Structure 1
Amino acid sequence: MIGVFLDRDGTIGGDGGGIHPLEFSLYEYSAKAINLLNKKGLKVFLFTNQSWIGMGKFTEQTFLEGCKEIEKELEKNNAYLEGIYYCPHKPEDNCNCRKPLTTLLEKAKIENNLDLNKCYIIGDRLSDMLSAESVGAKKILVKTGRGLKSFKELSNSTSEKLKVNYVADNVFTAVEWILIDLSS
């Protein structure tokens, strides 16, 4: 089974990080993009680091309430998520689930019978691309959120080994590329 993992902050909405879940809003094209994936029969997942939970800026329950709001907005556009995978820890907690580690992807693989080598990861940060690289998924970097900064980092010599499959203007153009890639 093929899945598409979407980062939250800076990829499907917000400005790239540190957004309170009840203040988060989708980009105007995100629901339509997810709907296209749903229509193609692909499983779509939210895949996000949420260190503000670990920092005490909001609770895990508040984060989940925010996710329900995202799902309500998606429903208005006949779109849905198969699941939400998130790390609630601070970077210094040295947990095993924070991107770029692959624990969340491995969990999704088991729970949804996914072939990670056939999956796609869309995000605005290098941690998203590194996660994809580690499991053999296709890497799509969006220019929204912190994507332009990440693109510049990828262009420097220290990141030479990491090659993304596609650089998209936003999640909608990323999804358009996925649909073309799947048909080729």
Structure 2
Amino acid sequence: MNIAMFLDRDGVVNEVLSERVKFVNKPTDFYLLDGVAEAIKLFNEEGFKVFIVTNQGGIGLGYMKESALQDVHKKMEEDLAKIGAYVDEVVYCPHKPHANCACRKPKPKMLFDLAAKYDIDLAQSYMVGDREPDIIAGREAGTRTILIGEREKDEVEADMYFPDLLSVANWLAEYHA
């Protein structure tokens, strides 16, 4: 079985609600956070499958089309490839925030679907997010959970806390050595 790093996108991989960008609705709005490409490359080198699992309610709300989201993800993959990093697959929930669909985090369906497709050992895998819905999805799927950043640190019960994705990758590279 494989071990996976399930990564939320906005706030974990790329900037959102920053001075430079509010929402990521087109490729020119997409900026990798510092150290993210290096972190994902470390995950790749350690043999982890790397997945982006992201809620993209802007599609359901009409703020962006799925084709624009594909363009954003293509830009992300190109930015990562500059240093030889890659993600195995990007999955997203396009539904409105309160649509009560099965795929929107905090529900774990995206993680379960990827686990089945890629033979993932969920108990040995990690869900990394910056908000409570990410952590709940990981917990519900049976993964270990990692909250990054400071925004909700005192309010969200994750298994581990790190300031950013590169700190997670450095810890995992040492932990799994």
TM-score, normalization: structure 1?
Answer: 0.88
Residue 132 (structure 1) shift: 1.0
Residue 164 (structure 1) shift: 1.7
Q: Which residue of 1 aligns with 2:173?
A: 179
| DSSP-derived class of the 1:84 partner | strand
Native 8 Å contact 1:4 1:42 kept in 2: yes
Residue among 47, 51, 54 paired with 2:60? 54
Q: Which residue of 2 aligns with 1:10?
A: 11
AA of the residue aligned to 1:142: I
Aligned residues: 171
Native 8 Å contact 1:18 1:52 kept in 2: no
More helix by share: 1
Residue 95 (structure 1) shift: 0.7
| DSSP-derived class of the 1:152 partner | coil
| DSSP-derived class of the 1:179 partner | helix
Q: Which residue of 1 aligns with 2:107?
A: 101
Residue 45 (structure 1) shift: 0.6
Q: Which residue of 2 aligns with 1:153?
A: 155
Q: Is 1:130 the equivalent of 2:136?
A: yes
Residue 136 (structure 1) shift: 1.6
Ranges of 4+ aligned residues in structure 1 off by more than 4 Å: none
| DSSP-derived class of the 1:78 partner | coil
Give CA-to-partner distance per residue, 1:16-58, whole Å, 9 cap, x none: 5732242111013100000001011111011100100111111
User: Distance in 2 between the 1:116 and 1:180 partners?
Assistant: 20
Unmatched tracts of structure 1, length 5 or more: 155-162
Residue among 72, 81, 84 paired with 1:78? 84
AA of the residue aligned to 1:93: A
| DSSP-derived class of the 1:153 partner | coil
- Give the root-mean-square deviation of aligned CA atoms: 1.4
Q: Which residue of 2 aligns with 1:170?
A: 164
| DSSP-derived class of the 1:93 partner | coil
User: Distance in 1 between the 2:128 and 2:168 partners?
Assistant: 7
| DSSP-derived class of the 2:128 partner | strand
AA of the residue aligned to 2:74: K
Q: Is 1:25 the equivalent of 2:31?
A: yes
Unmatched tracts of structure 2, length 5 or more: none
Give CA-to-partner distance per residue, 1:67-108, whole Å, 9 cap, x none: 001001111110000001110111221111000101101110
User: Distance in 2 between the 1:153 and 1:93 partners?
Assistant: 25
